[in-house]
């Protein structure tokens, strides 16, 4: 079976390839040819939109990969090998969109500028500027940078909630370093989630050609309005096969406002877990087939959800006046709210409609040092999987928050980011389960989920 993979559409300067020409969608504003015939064209719209899309180049310092033998001073002296550099410079290319011409704010992807030491923005008129990083949000893959320049052009933002499958879409960006490139297609699907690309997913799928270097670029409608920020492709080879994804501009705009105002996104917590309302569950709750919504499976005591009166078994059908399709919608809406903000919930309870109001609260972070749990876990720190984590709702267990280098936990093979799903053959959901499962044990048998792989560790 072939393995399909998601590729973030950023571009290394060392990578270049030639791709076949793809025909643009035959839609746009009319143009009269030399014989008086009216022809469709996107040119008038693009003449206004192109100056607002910029090229982004970054440089970063990363640790160099060195053969362990070259770290040995005796080996280097014996073979007269000079000491190897510990760091090296890397460069990458991406795209960005000017959204505020007066203040010089630019939206791009977090993965375009992540860990960059220097960010350079090139405009369509040839001018170049050093950019200031305003803030990033890895969970939505949104970043805001700023340049100080006159005579900038900005793209107006559309309402991406009004998009429909089949609407025409135009991608503008910097694929493979080829600046100011335009491709066209349609909106192939909306609300794509569960792809594992980022923490909060509600993505636009499009067949407008998106390639490495398009990341952070614009997805616009035929009116030249910004509907999304291009971010990733689904590909076996790393090149475009007609399945690209963009962050809806409504989501990006909400993140942008928080980053500009606060420099970060500090997410609130509802304190409830939800799952998709499947046809079987809809039947069990005596609902009509095809009914959208999310079923509340658990409510944490004293949480915002508990104080609002939400209960397990409630079916959330609307949040802040917008229909809820599934559990991802609940997570996305709550994930964009700051601590102290209100959220209005329309629920079904026993087939009766109720309206509730919750005020999202600060996440309760439970942490435990390894040595407090077991001597063989010394040097590690463990925590529950938080509501805002991309792992929340996908896996149950205890998250390894940190591991000290050279500690007993590190020597045993425990790594930061591991999720311990069982201990001593007992399934665990949280720190309390973990503590109970290993209490009094001389040895530990841990079942660990590490990325897409699973393994046992015997300590």
Active site residues: 111, 141, 215
d(CA 453, CA 349): 39
Rg of the chain in Å (alpha carbons): 25
**Please, what's the b/e burial string for 174-209 (b: 16 or more CB within 10 A of its CB; e: otherwise)?**
bbbbebbbbbbbbbbebbbbeeebbbbbbbbbbbbb
Compute φ and ψ for 148, nearest 5 degrees.
-105, 105
Residue 419 contacts residue 395 (beta carbons within 8 Å):
yes
Residue 201 contacts residue 234 (beta carbons within 8 Å):
no
Residue 315 contacts residue 287 (beta carbons within 8 Å):
yes
d(CA 2, CA 236): 8
Compute φ and ψ for 389, nearest 5 degrees.
-75, 150
Tracing tokens 């025909």 back to the chain, one arrives at 23
d(CA 390, CA 407): 28
**Please, what's the b/e burial string for 67-78 (b: 16 or more CB within 10 A of its CB; e: otherwise)?**
eeeeeeeeeeee
């Amino acid at each position: 079976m072939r393995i399909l993979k998601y590729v973030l559409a950023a571009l290394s300067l060392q990578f270049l390839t030639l791709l076949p020409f793809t025909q643009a969608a035959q839609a746009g504003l009319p143009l009269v040819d030399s014989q008086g015939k009216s022809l469709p064209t996107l040119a008038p719209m693009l003449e206004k939109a192109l100056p607002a899309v910029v090229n982004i180049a970054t440089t970063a310092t990363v640790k160099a990969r060195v053969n362990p033998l070259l770290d040995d001073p005796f080996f280097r002296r014996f073979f007269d090998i000079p000491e190897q550099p510990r760091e090296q410079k890397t460069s990458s290319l991406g795209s960005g969109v000017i959204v505020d011409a007066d203040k010089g704010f630019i939206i791009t992807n977090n993965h375009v500028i992540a860990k960059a030491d220097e960010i350079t923005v090139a405009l369509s008129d040839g001018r170049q500027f050093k950019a200031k990083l305003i803030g990033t949000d890895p969970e939505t893959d949104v970043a805001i940078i700023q340049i100080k320049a006159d005579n900038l052009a900005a793209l107006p933002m559309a309402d991406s909630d009004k998009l429909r499958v089949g609407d025409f879409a135009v991608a503008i960006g910097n694929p493979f370093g080829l600046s100011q490139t335009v491709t066209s297609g349609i909106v192939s699907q909306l609300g794509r989630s569960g792809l594992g690309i980022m923490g909060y997913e509600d993505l636009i799928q499009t067949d407008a050609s998106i390639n490495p270097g398009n990341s952070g670029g614009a997805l616009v409608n035929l009116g030249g309005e910004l509907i999304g920020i291009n971010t990733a492709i689904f590909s076996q080879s790393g090149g475009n096969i007609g399945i690209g994804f963009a962050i809806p501009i409504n989501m990006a705009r909400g993140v942008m406002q928080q980053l500009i105002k606060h420099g970060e996104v500090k997410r609130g917590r509802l304190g409830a877990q939800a799952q998709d309302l499947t046809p079987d569950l809809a039947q069990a709750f005596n609902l009509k087939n095809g009914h959208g919504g999310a079923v509340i499976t658990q409510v944490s005591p004293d949480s915002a959800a508990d104080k609002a009166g939400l209960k397990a078994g409630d079916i959330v059908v609307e949040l802040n006046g917008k229909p809820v399709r599934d559990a991802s919608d609940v997570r996305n809406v709550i994930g964009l709210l700051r601590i102290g903000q209100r959220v209005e919930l329309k629920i079904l309870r026993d087939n009766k409609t109720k309206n509730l109001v919750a005020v999202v609260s600060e996440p309760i972070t439970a942490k435990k040092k390894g040595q407090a749990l077991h001597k063989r876990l010394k040097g590690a720190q463990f925590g529950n999987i938080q509501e805002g984590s991309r792992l929340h709702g996908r896996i149950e267990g205890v998250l390894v928050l940190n591991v000290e280098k050279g500690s007993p936990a590190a020597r045993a093979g425990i790594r930061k980011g591991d999720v311990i799903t069982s201990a001593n053959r007992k399934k665990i959901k949280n720190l309390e389960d973990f503590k109970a499962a290993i209490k009094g044990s001389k040895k530990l048998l841990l079942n660990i989920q590490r990325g897409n792989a699973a393994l046992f560790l015997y300590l």
